[in-house]
């Protein structure tokens, strides 16, 4: 039995379809070609979600359908049929601005998925430029569509050059706002402004986006890092939890690893390898006595959750690779845009990288660093 939300959705959808049908009939009798064309196209489009669901098993949320249908209703019925374009000077501006935002969120969602699935790897500023360009391109295609209708059926959608330039200017404003939202979203590492529906839809059709970028082999990355040696962005740890002097698990060893990760996150990122000594000798993870690789990853994840926080896990990638017949743990850390504190024994400490060492900041030095790096 359909849910109440589904019933409401069906009622609203069919009501708008009925209105579109009546509008189409009225347009024929009154010889209004533009209304006739758009109402027919809109009526057909209302069935696309059902077709996608039946044939491709792609489900569009009812709320998304209703919002789209209400936009069509506002654009067609209130705008052209009821004469709002002529009665209210701001109606055309509102519809154009709303359309530019809708196209912008589409562009933002596409760039978000490309970045998320490792098909592109760019900084937030360049991503914002891509979002702006794609939004404006989609909006320009709509202007071309209006021009085509004007040419074919004298629709009058573009009354003059001033009207066209006004629409383009509004589209530019919408593109700027969406690109700023995209920049903020990517910089903070979240997807709050991306459409959940569009993101899901795009991810289900990977052929539209092309193949993923080939990631570099973790073993080659580890070998290159070992060859370079310890720097401000590279550090080696002999073990994850075992004290080599006592051959027993030691919380201090675990905290040393987490401290380095926190320092990398607070500075400019970096790479940590566990299972190798300061002089580049491969010791291996076998010294830590874990049953298997999964246990190692789980233990590290739990340490990060306990001492740093779940929200920083997306900034950390790990891989276990074998070198010289011994396994080592590669930990790649991206720079965090949010300050990271190391929590231990009911205390919170703040670390950064200073040369090849992780240094604790306190007092005025801590305040100055946070204000300079995280408040700008």
Q: What percent of the chain has pLDDT over 70?
A: 75
Verdict on whether the full-model pTM lies above 0.85: no
**30: pLDDT strictly greater than 90:** no
Q: What is the CB neighbour count within 10 angstroms for residue 372?
A: 9
Q: Distance (Å, rounded) from C-alpha 63 to C-alpha 225?
A: 50
Q: Distance (Å, rounded) from C-alpha 296 to C-alpha 294?
A: 5
Q: 3-state SS of the chain: helix, strand, coil percent to 5?
A: 60, 15, 25
Q: What does the pLDDT look like over 278-335, one tens digit per residue?
A: 899 999 999 999 999 999 999 999 999 999 999 899 889 999 999 989 999 999 999 9
Q: How many CA atoms does the CB half-sphere of 72 hold within 13 Å?
A: 25
**pLDDT attached to residue 57:** 60
Q: What is the CB neighbour count within 10 angstroms for residue 360?
A: 13
Q: Would you say 165 and 95 are in contact if contact means Cβ atoms under 8 Å apart?
A: no
Transcribe 50-109 into DSSP letters: HHHHHHH-PPPPHHHHHHHHHHHHIIIIIIIIS-HHHH-TTHHHHHHHHHHHHHHHHHHH
**CA 225 to chain CA mean position, Å:** 29
**pLDDT attached to residue 207:** 56
**118: pLDDT strictly greater than 80:** no
**77-91, 109-123, 132-146, 345-359: the lowest-pLDDT one:** 77-91
Strand order in the sheet with 270-274: 234-237, 270-274, 326-333, 316-323
> What are the chain's domains?
4-205 (no CATH), 218-374 (3.30.950.30)
pLDDT band at 261 (very low <50, low <70, confident <90, very high): very high
**59: pLDDT strictly greater than 80:** no
Q: Distance (Å, rounded) from C-alpha 124 to C-alpha 112?
A: 10
Q: Distance (Å, rounded) from C-alpha 317 to C-alpha 333?
A: 7
Q: What does the pLDDT look like over 194-222, one tens digit per residue?
A: 556 556 665 565 555 555 556 678 899 99
Q: Distance (Å, rounded) from C-alpha 131 to C-alpha 136?
A: 9
3 state SS of 276: strand
Highest mean predicted confidence (pLDDT) among 6-20, 123-137, 236-250: 236-250
Torsion angle, alpha carbons of 301, 303, 306, 307, to 10: -120
């Amino acid at each position: 039995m359909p849910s109440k939300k589904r019933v409401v959705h069906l009622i609203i959808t069919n009501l708008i379809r009925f209105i579109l049908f009546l509008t189409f009939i009225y347009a024929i009798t009154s010889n209004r070609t533009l209304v006739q064309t758009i109402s027919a196209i809109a009526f057909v489009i209302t069935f696309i979600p059902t077709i996608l669901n039946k044939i491709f098993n792609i489900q569009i949320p009812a709320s998304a359908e209703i919002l789209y249908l209400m936009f069509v209703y506002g654009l067609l019925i209130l705008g052209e049929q009821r004469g709002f374009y002529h009665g209210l000077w701001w109606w055309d501006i509102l519809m154009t601005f709303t359309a530019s935002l809708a196209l912008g969120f589409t562009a933002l969602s596409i760039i978000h998925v490309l970045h998320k699935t490792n098909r592109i790897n760019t900084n937030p500023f360049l991503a914002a430029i891509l979002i702006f360009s794609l939004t404006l391109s989609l909006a320009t295609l709509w202007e071309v569509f209006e021009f085509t209708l004007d040419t074919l059926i004298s629709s009058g959608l573009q009354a003059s050059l001033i009207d066209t330039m006004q629409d383009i200017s509004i589209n530019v404003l919408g593109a700027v706002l969406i690109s700023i939202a995209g920049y903020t979203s990517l910089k903070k590492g979240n997807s709050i402004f991306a459409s959940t529906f569009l993101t899901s839809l795009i991810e289900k059709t990977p052929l539209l986006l092309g193949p993923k970028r080939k990631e570099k082999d973790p073993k080659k990355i580890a070998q290159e890092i070992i060859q370079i040696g310890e720097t401000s962005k590279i550090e080696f740890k002999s073990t994850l939890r075992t004290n080599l002097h006592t051959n027993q698990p030691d919380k201090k060893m675990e905290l040393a690893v987490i401290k380095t990760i926190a320092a990398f996150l607070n500075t400019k990122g970096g790479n940590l390898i566990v299972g190798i000594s300061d002089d580049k000798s491969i010791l291996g993870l076998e010294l830590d006595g874990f049953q298997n690789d999964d246990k190692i990853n789980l233990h590290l994840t739990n340490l990060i959750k306990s001492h740093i926080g779940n929200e920083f896990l997306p900034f950390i990638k790990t891989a276990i690779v074998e070198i010289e017949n011994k396994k080592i743990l590669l930990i790649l850390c991206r720079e965090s845009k949010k300050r990271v504190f190391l929590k231990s024994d009911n205390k919170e400490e703040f670390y950064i990288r200073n040369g090849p060492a992780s240094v604790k900041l306190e007092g005025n030095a801590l305040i100055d660093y946070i204000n300079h790096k995280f408040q700008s």
